[in-house]
Structure 1
Amino acid sequence: MMRKQLFKPALLSIAVGSAMYSAHAFSQDTLTSNPDEDVEVIAVKGIRGSLIRAQAVKMDNTSIVEAISAEDIGKLPDSSIAESLARLPGLAGERVGGRTSGISVRGFKEDFTGTSLNGRELIGIGDNRGVEYDLYPSEIMTGATIYKTTDASLLVQGIGGTVDLQTVRPLAAQETLTLTGTLERGGNDSDNPEFDNEGHRYALSFVEKFADDTLGVALAIASTESPRNERKYGVWGYGDNNGALLPFGLDTQAISRVLERDTVSGIVQWRPGDNWDIVVDVLDIDYSDSGVIRGFIEPFELDAASLSGSGANSTGTQINANPVLRTDPAQKDGELSTYGINLTYHLNDSWSVELDVADSESSKRDLRGESYAGLSRNGAALAPADERSRDFVMSPDGIVFTGSNGLGAFADPSMLQLAGPQPWGGGMASLADQFATDVLRADGETYNYINAQDGFLNFADFEEELTTARFETFGLVDWGIIRKVNVGVAYSDRYKSKDNKGFFATASSYPQSEAIPEQYLYNGLADLSWAGFGQVVAYDGFAPYNDGEYTLNDAGLLEPDRLGDTFEVNEEVTTLFAKFDFETDLAGFFVTGNVGAQYVQTDQSSTGYIGIVGANFKVCDADNDGQVDASCIQSISDDYSHFLPSLNINVELAENQYVRFAASKTISRARIDQMKASGFVKFDQNINLIAIPNTAEDVAEYGSPWSKFQGNPTLRPLEANNFDLSFENYFEDEGYVSLALFYKDLVNWTRDGNQTIDFTNDPTNDGANYFIPGFHDRTVGADGLVGPDGTEYSPGTYLTPPDLGTFSFFEDGLEGEVKGAEFTAQVPLSMLADMLEGFGIAGSATIIDAELSDGTAIPGQSDRVYSLTAYYETGGFEIRVAATDRSEYLTYQRGGSNKIEQATRDGITQVDAQVSYDFADSGIDYLKGLRVSLQGTNLTDEDEETRDGNGLVTLRREFGPSYMLNFNYNFY
């Protein structure tokens, strides 16, 4: 016996929230709907309306899902879709630069979560597969559905789940013309004089229908200028210094950036006849994230006699201070465009076919310059060590300076020199002749390439293209309990490349130094007093690059890890899939669901470089022609297949009460940066590492200057067997409770492989010897040297490095498991008392126990994530306060030489609030289309912190709150 669910909010969702459905879902809904059935359409707006629509989507879906929904295009309340997603049960947001950008689903970072736009796979503009969700302004979206379990027709999958973003379908939406304007203000003033803390957003969106509602057009245009001012405290790590835990070096900056983003989304939907539905959509996003990172970076030396206290709590004096004032201009520019067409043809009342074709392209240049200034060029005579000092207070929250001596030049541009104060030019050894001089340093030696680095221009270019095609058929059948069939084939072709470039910069004054040119200076000083550094000179860090003040040398042929991070990856995937929906009565209970499978064939390849320094001190340039040697280029390919079954069962225990069970096998393809064919042999020029004795025991204790790394283009996807069980009780139009248990058996995860090898006889490279006299050796200088093992070396001692070092790589085979529980409740408080009409709360708690078999954490996984939203709505007035709390988690960040590295973030509690008034019922005719809102994010001023094993802060970023005043006007 067939029965039909008649939950009113579900019908409401179909009527006024139909934009929640992706393009390929249209034909399915058409086949199952009854054109003669009366559908109750109720205009529900605001917070409560969005909760009702989202709840309806959750209830009607055969998978376990979460959803967000706007009543119309341009009505989502946040600055980007990321902020809205981060508040959903089982999801957690990750801030990048003060804005929520990444999203974890059930503990899996966005790299392991599939992301689609209207059912099509979506690309990003970053290093990997993960999508930067803050790239997508809320004004172009109508909602999103997050699939925590999968079915065979869901082609964009991930171990964590799938996030499907949705734009409007004009023939299923109300006609509207909406103008939005937003004024934004950061809670932190800018510490850099050339920036402020004010921004704005503008958006125009409309939906129109023509030709007796057979042709629909939707257009959304959004422009954003959003400031971000950040205070960054960082160290090079801590060590025991006379009984106190003190930093090896300092890295403190005032950061100001401005995000500029222009977005155009256009959709045309045409139904030329009863059997055809044609949708063409275009999305184009241009963005720029530019600014400056300005502050100090320097080694730290303690005056032992001044020390008071021990462990993490002490006071004392830093001596021999020779700070590098780094002015790092940053410019990140990108563009993403996607074009698609969806054709649906209804063969008859029971069968339809659909073809969906799309192409997406993205490009990005991530550029960061470095310009150094200080007391003098390194090697020049300085005041005695004790005359260049700072008093400090050390605590678990880091080191703060309370006074200084002999460092006043940093506020006086006439005294500050545009030159590198530290001897960081070791990477230019192959250019020794270019920097050879007869000018003597203070130690009696001549200036050379070691003294010649005054800056660095660092950038990476990313390109990505994804072409997809999908053909499928839908049919209503009567095959026993099988009611619907969906069978199809899909193809995708992905290309992604990274070109990692850089240039060493040397000022024209070398080997001397000169003051910063007056034309480079900004009016006003930069404020670093919050870290105890006072006011410092502010100048344009791009200026010496733009006017030719710096001589540039290509680092790509000088730094092996840069060439070894340049690559191309190609991936072709063909998928056959079939899904069968069923309905039946079982022991008096109504049971629905689906069963199906995908067969996935993959061909993948990568071309890259193995960066090795040659006898001429250059990387892969033995003939000195400036081109990469053919012997350094390599291409690797592989192919494989997967069978991915899935099962979803839903049992209606009572009216609007369900038990859902799901079982599936899912994959997340390996990270792009891990699949590269590239690699490199790296040598750290630090003389303290070169002085490590040549024994396996000493290398194990103190490390080695040698390291080798290589990617793996043959990596298989991450793979998991998934089991989910949930109970859901929908007791009100805007009220439900649910409890979900989930288990993921991780049968394959990428492992970090490590192996100790002899760098004078590399067994992984045909016995290659990487040691080069004159490049990998050192002679102890006039001050002598104390090695890491305590050995004293007199001036003139010749040192060679140890032979042993570490070879790092990626391999398959790691296993693990994820066990979790989610509790969600959405309760209108009018259930408790009539006087609470309009009040409500929505909350969730996700508890996860997860670990890989080698004891490492899963990137993006917090042990707990809590969220709570309280709201009130009446007569057009709304107020919402939302708090999200997540525990610490592992993530990735951009590290040195533009490479990706791991980092652990401390837990964070973020509180947002919004107050708004809709004038629709105000009685003032000319204001009836107006809605005004005031929104604040990060109201508790939460910092982003990373701590080491001793509980000491190694990195802290302070962003402050931000506020937005929004005006939204509907002309009709």
Structure 2
Amino acid sequence: MNQSTFKKSTLYAAMLVAMSGGAYAQQESSGEDAQNIEVIEVQGIRSALTKSAAIKRDSDGIVDAITAEDIGKLPDTNLAESLQRISGVSIDRANNEGNKVTVRGFGPDFNLVTLNGRQMPNSSALQSAGISRSFNFREIAAESVSGVNVYKTGRANVSSGGIGATIDIQSARPFDYDEFTAFASAKAIYDTSVESGDDITPEISGMISSTFLDGTLGLLLSASHSERDSHTDVVGTDGWVRNRSADNVDKSAIDTSKNPEQAIWTPWTARVEHFDTERERQNAQAVLQFQPFDGLVATVDYTMSRLKEVSQTNRMAFWFDSPMGSADVNGTLIDPRDPDDELNFWAWEYYEEKENDSIGVNIEWQATDSLSFGLDLHDSTSHSNPDGQTAETLANLKNPPGSVALIGADFDGEIPAIIVDDSSLPGGGYAKQNIVSDLYQKRGYEMENNIKQYHLSGSWENLGTDSALARINFGVVRTEYEVDTYLSEVFSFVDVPLDNLDLDFIELGDTADQFPGTENLFPLIPQYNVHQFIDIVAAEGKFVEPSIRTNGISEDTTALYVSVDVDTEFNEMPVKMNAGVRYESTDVTAYSIQNGILAMNYRHVQELRPVFDDVPSEQALSGDYTRILPNLDVSMTVTDELVTRFSYSRTLARAGISAMFPATVVNARPGGPFNASQGNPNLLPITSDNFDVSVEYYLDDGSYASVGYFKKYVENFIGAGTENRAINDVNGEPLRDPSVDPRPGCPDASEIPNSACLSQASDPVISWEVATPDNIQNRVVDGWEFNVQYMFADSGFGAVANYTLVDSDEAFDPYNFEQTIALTGLSDSGNLIGFYEGDNFQIRFAYNWRDEFLLSLGNEPTFTEAYGQLDMSASYDITEALTITFDGLNLTDETARRHGRFEEQLLSAEQYGPRYNLGISYKF
């Protein structure tokens, strides 16, 4: 969606204000201010917005927030989708559901997520998902959250690790409520996309809280269970590669003023696939609070989540081995053709099971009238595929090599037009007698992330009246962060009989029919089970033992902090200040355990595989660094309505986990490319000096308008420094290429390597392009945030609108092939929300839009195109306790599209469909 389309959609959404509903709350508060503000029971949209405006006005720092409208009622069905309503916060979606957030242009790895102030672990069972420090919001039910604070600038007493923001999820405590409180809710989730599974699935949640012994003892229990089945249509490619098959491409149309090297990009594949996903999620929390005497509160809590997600995929595709055609002005081969090739028929399964557990103890002691202390301890673990289950299983079938006269695709539209001439095969390429086996692959990926954190804090409050000094805060934090990963992988080309394989085909039907040109895709999609194929491979005795690789990292950080709060006046205008400094020292140790490489094996015309010995060896590297992180927050009340703010802080984001593993990993194909990578545990953290100024104008009844400007000077961005060099085998000799002048009988895909196909002393030495991450660049990022929140007197109508502009001093240059750093997630975004709230009825429409952004930068970039989504929610109070709710997500059936360097380099075009929830809740 372009800028003009967004404006049109904004006008359209504005027309819905009179009949729409929103549950969005925004606030700015320092940690100390939030503790000193009277707790208001929030029930309904207007109450939540009014509270947020009051907290925003009274705060010192820059903190936006979302507050639950009522017990168990956050504004959206997904926590990430609630967060995107905050200015400057955008989300990534997976399977049409928010999962990770970007703040002020900084992607998920640049933001820290905490639970009740505690740093939370994360793990991933899928190697393709990578190893991220960023918590995935799909793992926690929105019903279990009472509020979320987004700290956009650093504070001495707030955990470090977020340059974009530190996001603190808050859960309920029994002392938050008066005596007995409980609620229960049940929803029916109707997903219009479902093709395999249940159209309607359940979601139930509940909480019970009570206090005993004259309010000195409190117990809270909460739990939720959710099931969701869904379907996704995907059209795309498996990537674009630069300067492959260059001799087969007509380059005459290339604009040499932009592309003087006449670089060309060719696609690996063209594909259409169906994703059918089943997901179950459970959340639970138990909290015990005890107040033996006034001034001392002890809290013990246990939080858990369980997630299981299985996706079955069937894909119709073909692989361009040596494509030919004409490049466009950018250098993209938009009309690839490949004669004498074959079709590919894929089956895939993704399996992910996650267990998250956190146990914590918190003690708050008011030692004297002016002096208080806090002690917080927690031990939290995230464990993916804890039993070592295979995370990815895939298989491919094909026509006999060279049996299809022509394959091709035209990439001049939103999705490709597929061209297949299979007339050379009697019965065509889809006939079972013309299909043979090709390959299989299994990846088992187990990961465990454990965080132990110990936080001792204190605060001295000045009870005198003659000094501007209001409070001194201090503390020490110890964080022990550990990650261990276990990867088992097997990949093999096989020739097995398919007589017993249940192979079928279904017509394309309405697959991706929201995109123009679906009539030009493949006519059929294969249907078979990947595990049945693997069973056939095993029965034929051709299953290969997997290679094993283990990596881990240990990160120990000690932090000391102190800050002061000042209340004073300037020209009779009240001024509040918070000044602080945080000192951190971090020690890093990383290890890798893997077998050594004996030789390279020429197994297949598309495969050059390392052969490992059976002696695992460990490699360990270490690093350390210290950082000083100051902050200053100043707010001045100019008039009764006008508040101004200034904030400065230094924040940091630590290097990505996988970038620090010391193992050397090789990836080669006959003829190249020959790529390798090695981690660097001595990477420095990325640091940012942040400046914020804002002006806020407040009206009555929670209405306000604000504008803010921010600028970030970011140092030590991590990029991939590369060098071309040899890599030695276990004997200290350089690895060589046996595919250059292959010996008789090679390639050979036998399970026992053919010695003739192994690299020998007479073969040429391979020059590997080895990528090693390093701190190599600085950046400047700035932007504007605009907010308007308005209540239309006592009419029940209201609206919220915000828009964020983000820019950087260096944009991604598609013709700069040496660029190894680019800021992922940088994009403008906006929201328009309108609502009506009566005595018993409320309804909201919320439109969220995000401009195109760079999702990732590997060998080739991935861009996510602009996306806008319209959601709605409504509720009706049958009684004071009984409420029915209705939610609609993606009402206009929006689609998502990703591309490579240029728009015509399609990577994926995805279609999900709308989703609806009908629920009932009861509050005791």
TM range (shorter): 0.7 to 0.9
CA distance in 2, matches of 1:306, 1:131: 44
Determine which structure has the larger helix proportion and give its number: 1
Asked if structure 1 preserves the Cα contact closer than 8 Å seen for 2:153 and 2:651, the reply is no
CA distance in 1, matches of 2:524, 2:505: 13
Q: Of the candidates 196, 200, 203, which is equivalent to residue 201 of structure 1?
A: 203
Instruction: Give the direction of change, closer, same or farther, for the CA distance of 1:139–1:411 in structure 2 (3 Å limit).
Output: farther
CA distance in 1, matches of 2:812, 2:922: 56
CA distance in 1, matches of 2:806, 2:531: 46
Asked if structure 2 preserves the Cα contact closer than 8 Å seen for 1:930 and 1:967, the reply is no
Listed one character per residue, the Cα deviations across residues 190-237 of structure 1 (whole Å, up to 9, x for unaligned) are: 2xxx43544321112222222222222222211111123111222243
Instruction: Give the direction of change, closer, same or farther, for the CA distance of 1:76–1:307 in structure 2 (3 Å limit).
Output: closer
Cα distance, 1:666 vs structure 2: 1.1
Amino acid at match of 1:904: F
CA distance in 1, matches of 2:31, 2:648: 22
Cα distance, 1:185 vs structure 2: 2.2
Amino acid at match of 2:225: S
Cα distance, 1:588 vs structure 2: 1.1
Q: Of the candidates 784, 793, 808, which is equivalent to residue 771 of structure 2?
A: 808
CA distance in 1, matches of 2:372, 2:91: 39
Cα distance, 1:613 vs structure 2: 3.0
Mapping of 1:853-868 within 5 angstroms?
Answer: 858-868=822-832
1:709 has 2:696 as partner: no
CA distance in 2, matches of 1:593, 1:737: 22
Q: Which runs of 5+ in 1 are unaligned?
A: 1-16, 34-38, 421-453, 558-562, 691-703, 784-797, 921-927
SS in 2 for 1:58: helix
Alignment match, 2:111 = 113
Asked if structure 1 preserves the Cα contact closer than 8 Å seen for 2:223 and 2:284, the reply is yes
Asked if structure 1 preserves the Cα contact closer than 8 Å seen for 2:88 and 2:804, the reply is yes
1:539 has 2:528 as partner: yes
1:572 has 2:556 as partner: yes
SS in 1 for 2:527: coil
Amino acid at match of 1:162: T
CA distance in 1, matches of 2:231, 2:351: 15
Listed one character per residue, the Cα deviations across residues 83-130 of structure 1 (whole Å, up to 9, x for unaligned) are: 111111110011123211110111111211121111111122231211
CA distance in 2, matches of 1:19, 1:908: 23
Asked if structure 2 preserves the Cα contact closer than 8 Å seen for 1:117 and 1:166, the reply is yes
Question: Which moved further from structure 2: 393-402 or 363-372?
Answer: 393-402
Alignment match, 1:682 = 667
SS in 2 for 1:480: coil
SS in 1 for 2:81: helix
Amino acid at match of 2:831: S
Mapping of 1:113-132 within 5 angstroms?
Answer: 113-126=111-124, 127-132=131-136
Alignment match, 2:59 = 61
Amino acid at match of 2:301: D
Mapping of 1:759-838 within 5 angstroms?
Answer: 759=726, 769-772=733-736, 774=738, 777-778=741-742, 803-830=766-793, 837-838=795-796
Alignment match, 1:447 = none
Asked if structure 1 preserves the Cα contact closer than 8 Å seen for 2:156 and 2:561, the reply is yes
1:613 has 2:597 as partner: yes
1:155 has 2:144 as partner: no
Cα distance, 1:300 vs structure 2: 3.7
SS in 2 for 1:654: coil
Alignment match, 2:477 = 490
Asked if structure 1 preserves the Cα contact closer than 8 Å seen for 2:100 and 2:108, the reply is yes
Alignment match, 1:658 = 643
1:95 has 2:93 as partner: yes
Structure with bigger gyration radius: 1
Alignment match, 2:758 = none
CA distance in 2, matches of 1:285, 1:304: 51
Alignment match, 2:47 = 49
Instruction: Give the direction of change, closer, same or farther, for the CA distance of 1:308–1:644 in structure 2 (3 Å limit).
Output: closer
Asked if structure 2 preserves the Cα contact closer than 8 Å seen for 1:414 and 1:515, the reply is no
CA distance in 1, matches of 2:863, 2:479: 34
CA distance in 2, matches of 1:355, 1:816: 38
TM-score, normalised via structure 1 length: 0.79
Asked if structure 1 preserves the Cα contact closer than 8 Å seen for 2:62 and 2:151, the reply is yes
Asked if structure 2 preserves the Cα contact closer than 8 Å seen for 1:208 and 1:218, the reply is yes
Mapping of 1:149-298 within 5 angstroms?
Answer: 149-174=153-178, 175-190=180-195, 194-235=196-237, 236-237=239-240, 241=249, 247-298=267-318
Cα distance, 1:612 vs structure 2: 5.8
CA distance in 1, matches of 2:56, 2:286: 28
Listed one character per residue, the Cα deviations across residues 297-326 of structure 1 (whole Å, up to 9, x for unaligned) are: 322489989999999898898653411211
Listed one character per residue, the Cα deviations across residues 231-290 of structure 1 (whole Å, up to 9, x for unaligned) are: 122224388855799745223311111221111122222212112101111111111110
CA distance in 2, matches of 1:220, 1:935: 23
1:627 has 2:590 as partner: no
Quote the sequence identity (%). Answer: 22
Alignment match, 1:398 = 415
CA distance in 1, matches of 2:343, 2:716: 47
1:846 has 2:804 as partner: yes
Cα distance, 1:20 vs structure 2: 10
Superposition RMSD on alpha carbons, in Å? 3.8
Q: Using CA pairs under 8 Å that are at least 6 residues apart, name the structure with larger relative contact order, 1 or 2.
A: 2
Instruction: Give the direction of change, closer, same or farther, for the CA distance of 1:639–1:726 in structure 2 (3 Å limit).
Output: same
Q: Which runs of 5+ in 2 are unaligned?
A: 1-23, 125-130, 254-264, 513-517, 602-607, 748-760, 814-818
SS in 1 for 2:54: helix
CA distance in 1, matches of 2:615, 2:70: 55
Question: Which moved further from structure 2: 86-95 or 862-871?
Answer: 862-871
CA distance in 2, matches of 1:464, 1:890: 28
SS in 2 for 1:542: helix
Asked if structure 1 preserves the Cα contact closer than 8 Å seen for 2:623 and 2:681, the reply is yes
SS in 2 for 1:935: strand
Amino acid at match of 1:370: L
Q: Of the candidates 74, 77, 80, which is equivalent to residue 78 of structure 2?
A: 80
CA distance in 2, matches of 1:396, 1:311: 16
Amino acid at match of 1:812: N
Cα distance, 1:941 vs structure 2: 2.7
Mapping of 1:400-439 within 5 angstroms?
Answer: 400-401=417-418, 405-406=422-423, 415=433, 417=435, 419-420=437-438
Q: Of the candidates 132, 138, 142, which is equivalent to residue 138 of structure 1?
A: 142
TM-score, normalised via structure 2 length: 0.83
Amino acid at match of 1:99: E
Question: Which moved further from structure 2: 651-660 or 958-967?
Answer: 958-967
Mapping of 1:316-395 within 5 angstroms?
Answer: 319-365=339-385, 367-376=391-400, 383=403, 385-386=404-405, 389=406, 394-395=411-412
1:905 has 2:889 as partner: no
Q: Of the candidates 736, 745, 754, which is equivalent to residue 704 of structure 2?
A: 736
CA distance in 1, matches of 2:108, 2:461: 35
Asked if structure 2 preserves the Cα contact closer than 8 Å seen for 1:19 and 1:142, the reply is no
Instruction: Give the direction of change, closer, same or farther, for the CA distance of 1:139–1:901 in structure 2 (3 Å limit).
Output: farther
Q: Of the candidates 594, 600, 616, which is equivalent to residue 584 of structure 2?
A: 600
Asked if structure 1 preserves the Cα contact closer than 8 Å seen for 2:95 and 2:912, the reply is no
SS in 2 for 1:398: coil
CA distance in 2, matches of 1:591, 1:809: 49
CA distance in 2, matches of 1:303, 1:945: 24
Instruction: Give the direction of change, closer, same or farther, for the CA distance of 1:930–1:709 in structure 2 (3 Å limit).
Output: same
Asked if structure 2 preserves the Cα contact closer than 8 Å seen for 1:526 and 1:538, the reply is no
SS in 2 for 1:415: helix
Instruction: Give the direction of change, closer, same or farther, for the CA distance of 1:163–1:309 in structure 2 (3 Å limit).
Output: closer
Cα distance, 1:589 vs structure 2: 1.1
Mapping of 1:882-893 within 5 angstroms?
Answer: 882-892=846-856
Instruction: Give the direction of change, closer, same or farther, for the CA distance of 1:777–1:586 in structure 2 (3 Å limit).
Output: farther
Listed one character per residue, the Cα deviations across residues 665-722 of structure 1 (whole Å, up to 9, x for unaligned) are: 111111111122222233222xxxx2xxxxxxxxxxxxx4322311100001101111
Q: How many residues align?
A: 835
1:553 has 2:544 as partner: yes
Alignment match, 2:875 = 916
CA distance in 1, matches of 2:432, 2:825: 51
